[in-house]
Chain A
Amino acid sequence: MSSTSPSPRISIYGDHAVIVDWETDGFSESVNDTVHSLAAKLRESGNYIEVVPGYDSLVCVFDLAARSVDSTKRHIEDLLARSAQTSNQTGQLVEIPVHYGGKDGPDMEMICKSAKLSADGVIALHSKVKYRVCMMGFIPGFTFLSPAPEKLHHPRLATPRAKVPAGSIGIANWQTGIYGLESPGGWQIIGRTPLSIFDVKRKTPFLLNAGDRVRFIPQ
Chain B
Amino acid sequence: MTITVLHSGTQTLIMDAGRPGHRHQGIPGGGAADKLSFAIANHLVGNAWDAPALECALGGLHIRFNEPYTIAISGAQMWSQNQGLNLALNKAVQVEAGDILTMSFTRAGCRSYLAIAGGIKAKPFMGSVSTYLPAKLGGLNGDPLKTGDVLDIGKPQGDVRSLPKGHIPLLSNHIVLRAAQGPEYNALSDGSKRYLFTTPFYATTATDRMGSRLKGDAVTLDTELKMTSSPLLPGSLQIPPDGQPILALADGHCTGGYARSLQVIQADLWLLGQIAPGAAVSFRRSLPEEAEIILRGKNSYYADLIPGFSF
A→B interface (CB under 8 Å)? 11-17, 19, 21, 27, 39, 43, 49-59, 61, 63-65, 68-69, 135-142, 144, 175, 180-181, 183, 198, 200, 205-206, 209-210
Main secondary structure of the interface of B (DSSP, over half): mixed
Closest A-B pairs by Cβ, 7 of them:
A14-B263, A15-B291, A137-B254, A137-B255, A59-B231, A52-B231, A138-B253
Asked if B223 lies at the interface with its beta carbon under 8 angstroms from chain A, I say no
Contacts of B126 in A (CB 8 A): 205
- Given A14-B265, A142-B26, A58 and B231 contact (CB-CB distance below 8 Å): yes
Assess whether B135 is in contact with A17, with CB atoms less than 8 Å apart.
Answer: no
A64 to B25, CA, bound (A): 23
Q: Are B230 and A55 in contact (CB under 8 A)?
A: yes
Question: Complex: how many Å from CA A136 to CA B229?
Answer: 10
**Nearest CB in chain B: distance from A159 CB, A:** 15
With A15-B263, A64-B295, A65-B310: A57-B182 Cβ-Cβ less than 8 Å: no
Contact (Cβ within 8 A) B135 A52: no
In the complex the two chains form, what is the Cα distance from A52 to B27 in whole Å?
Answer: 11
Q: Give complex CA distance A146, B118 in Å.
A: 48
A200 touches B135 (CB 8 A): yes
| CB neighbours of A53 from chain B (8 A) | 24, 231
Q: Which of B27, B29, B295 has the most CB of A within 10 A?
A: B27
Query: Nearest CB to that of A142 among chain B residues?
Result: B26
**B288 in contact (CB, < 8 A):** yes
Closest A residue, CB atoms, query B137: A200
The closest CB in chain A to the CB of B288 belongs to A15
Rounded to whole angstroms, the CA-CA distance of A138 and B20 in the bound complex is 15
Q: In the complex the two chains form, what is the Cα distance from A144 to B299 in whole Å?
A: 38
Q: Known A-B contacts: A11-B183, A200-B137, A209-B25. Give 6 more (CB < 8 A).
A: A14-B180, A27-B228, A50-B21, A138-B256, A175-B228, A198-B26
Set of chain B residues within 8 Å of A65, measured between Cβ atoms: 266, 295-296, 299, 310-311
Known: A13-B263, A57-B230, A63-B310. A137 touches B23 (CB 8 A): yes
> Within residues 154 to 184 of chain B, which ones have a CB less than 8 A from any CB in chain A?
179-183
Instruction: List B residues 82-102 near A (Cβ within 8 Å).
Output: none
- For window 30-89 of B, CB contacts with A under 8 Å fall at none
- CB < 8 Å neighbour of B266 from A64, A136, A139: A64
Minimum CB distance partner of A26 in chain B: B228
Decide: A15 near B286, CB < 8 A? Known: A57-B231, A59-B231, A142-B26: yes
Taking a contact as CB atoms under 8 Å apart, the answer to whether B181 and A140 are in contact is no
Listed by A's residue number, 24 A-B pairs whose Cβ atoms lie within 8 Å are: A12-B181, A13-B260, A14-B181, A14-B264, A15-B180, A15-B263, A15-B286, A17-B233, A19-B183, A19-B231, A39-B24, A49-B21, A52-B231, A55-B229, A58-B231, A59-B233, A63-B266, A65-B311, A68-B292, A139-B135, A140-B26, A144-B255, A181-B134, A200-B136
Whole-angstrom distance between the alpha carbons of A68 and B266 in the complex?
Answer: 13
- Shortest Cβ distance from residue A70 to the other chain B in the assembled complex, whole angstroms: 10
Task: Please measure, in the bound complex, the distance between the C-alpha atom of A56 and the C-alpha atom of B183, giving whole angstroms.
Answer: 14
Q: Are A138 and B183 in contact (CB under 8 A)?
A: no
| CA–CA, A198 and B229, complex, Å | 20
State whether A135 touches B255 (Cβ < 8 A): yes
Does B240 reach chain A (CB closer than 8 Å)?
no
CB pair A50 B235 closer than 8 Å: no
Pairwise interchain contact A137-B260, C-beta atoms closer than 8 A? no
Q: How many A-B residue contacts, CB cutoff 8 Å? A: 147
Q: How far is the CB of A134 from chain B (nearest CB, A)?
A: 9
Q: Which B positions have Cβ atoms within 8 angstroms of A?
A: 20-27, 29, 125-126, 134-137, 142, 179-183, 228-233, 235-236, 253-256, 260, 262-266, 286, 288, 291-292, 295-296, 299, 310-311
Q: Which of A16, A137, A139, A198 contacts B265 (CB 8 A)?
A: A16
C-alpha gap A180/B255 in the complex (Å): 15
Q: How distant is the Cα of A19 from the Cα of B260 in the complex, in angstroms? A: 12
For the complex, give the distance between the alpha carbons of A148 and B295 in Å: 45
Q: How far is the CB of A10 from chain B (nearest CB, A)?
A: 11
Q: Does A12 lie within 8 Å of B310, measured CB to CB?
A: no
- Is the pair A54, B229 in contact by a Cβ cutoff of 8 Å? yes
Among A27, A135, A144, chain B packs the most CB atoms within 10 A around the CB of A135
Distance in angstroms from A75 CB to nearest chain B CB is: 17
Max chain A Cβ within 10 angstroms of own Cβ: one of B134, B182, B183 = B183
The answer to whether B29 and A50 have CB atoms under 8 Å apart is yes
Among residues of A, the one whose C-beta sits closest to the C-beta of B292 is A64
Chain A hits for B136, CB < 8 A: 200
Cβ contact within 8 Å between B263 and A64: no
How near does chain A come to B179, taking the closest CB pair, in angstroms? 7
